[in-house]
Structure 1
């Protein structure tokens, strides 16, 4: 009876998980399936499979939005923002965790408090400040903004991972004549690989899909990202759904590939950080 009761409970949990998966995956189904339909078919039969696969939707969307330029702009912003976040946050987390002092505890608390500040409350002052220092319509301004907004969360993840790295490893390196920077880059950085991959994926998902910040800072047409370029297909009186859905699929593919490639490291990094923290 105990085994049967457990089996029924397990079946119920699995059924619930399956139904939840269907709910969360249904938007992907509608986006992908409807991206291959003509505009007329898309409006008349949204849930059904396409009668004819209209691959020209992707070609038309590619040309209409100058997709290679938008992809390049998004990729540049994502890469350099991640580089800055990983380097600065990992070094800062190592310093704050290993050097215990009132100042470091205060700084760590300030970083954590910064996580609760919504971007909407600072976007107008930020845009004004960027105008004063000539950072509007520059990739540098967007990268600096992403680094400023993402450093708190990234530092928190690295700190939770560094806490349980045995200090004896670093002490052995110092005894062997390793400098503080050598200890960090040769000993600590390799140990941070699971968390670094986790940080890379999480921040890439956020930066790649962000719309508000690029819309505020990058206002010239040649500087548009994928998300801001896609918004041009959504008008007040008419939406080009056939092209918009094709662009959405093309925008999803790169980050989905990145996630599936790094999935094992992401799960390991989150699990290790949770256990070690």
Structure 2
């Protein structure tokens, strides 16, 4: 019996080790090649660099306009995530506390909209906003992110708000709070675990997104970090070394955020779906 348990634990350990390697291999591959020259990468991409050099990172930092692109990504991500969290929490709270047929159908439409792939609407989206002269604008991109991100956020908040006792809000209103004060002083603080989860998920999505910014942002000064890595692609060639270094510089900030905040993701999703 003990031997069977030991064998089972060993097998699980081996399986988890293999899965860990499969998950981190793309990043290790990227990191290893970011220190190599183009000839080394093309000849043997899996080998370690013959000479350790930070030249690729220096080139990538300058050619990407890293500080400008980082600032654009930071502004877009922070503002979009704040607006998604605030608007979605208020919407979900209104739906839960006002159970009318209109609100129920509206909520169902918002949930159903999540199954529509972005590729199906991106061409009409560009045509419409292009005709309104709203392309190549950071604020237009933030507005689009809020529109695309609210459906999932409202769905998660909706399940969690159901678990917040209405008596808390009634007591606050008896004490003299308005509906707005009740929401921000009573309800929204209770929703903080779910807000953390939604914020992390949206930060990962918006920071790493390439397709939507590539359709909206045209000018080099408005580019986000994922878009700035495209500067290493020429007409007939690719500068692989600086490209790898640029990708590392792009994903490094979001990896740090994820490592510190990952425990909130599953916790918040599970709480919102069960309640």
TM-score (norm 2): 0.95
Partner of 1:71: 70
CA deviation vs aligned residue, 1:17-59 (integer Å, no higher than 9, x gap) = 2211111110010001110112222222322222222111111
Hey, what's the Cα distance between the residues in 1 that align with 2:79 and 2:132?
20
- Answer whether contact 2:32 2:49 (CA < 8 A) is retained: yes
For residue 263 of structure 1, report the CA deviation from its aligned partner.
2.3
Q: Which moved more, 1:260-269 or 1:25-34?
A: 260-269
Q: Is residue 201 of structure 2 the alignment partner of residue 202 of structure 1?
A: yes
Count of equivalent residues: 275
> C-alpha separation between the residues in 2 aligned to 1:181 and 1:274?
26
Task: Report how far residue 119 of structure 1 moved.
Answer: 0.9
Q: Does 1:42 align with 2:37?
A: no
8 Å CA contact 1:130, 1:136 repeated in 2 = yes
Q: What's the CA shift for 1:14?
A: 2.5
- 1 CA distance for matches of 2:99 and 2:69? 45
> Offset at 1:239?
1.1
Shift of 1:236: 4.8
Deviations along 1:72-107, one digit per CA (max 9) or x if unpaired, are 111111111112111111100111112111111100
Distance 2:190 2:80 in 1: 22
| Helix, strand or coil at the partner of 2:92 | helix
Q: Contact 2:61–2:246 (CA<8 Å) still a contact in 1?
A: yes
**SS of equivalent to 1:46:** coil
Distance 2:178 2:9 in 1: 54
* Deviations 1:145-174, CA, capped at 9 Å, x for gaps: 111111101111111221212222222222
| Cross-structure match for 1:265 | 264
RMSD between aligned alpha carbons? Answer: 1.5
For residues 23 and 259 of structure 2, what CA distance do their matches in structure 1 show? 17
In structure 2, the partner of 1:183 is 182
Change (3 A) 1:4 1:19: same
Verify: 1:115 aligned to 2:151, yes or no. no
1:213: how far off?
0.9
Which residue of structure 2 lines up, in the alignment, with residue 240 of structure 1? 239
Superposition deviation, residue 217 in structure 1: 0.9
Structure 1 residue runs of 5 or longer lacking an equivalent are: none
Question: Does the CA-based 8 Å contact 2:73-2:225 persist in structure 1?
Answer: yes
**Deviations 1:104-158 (CA, angstroms, capped at 9, x unpaired):** 1100000011101111111111112212322111111111111111110111111
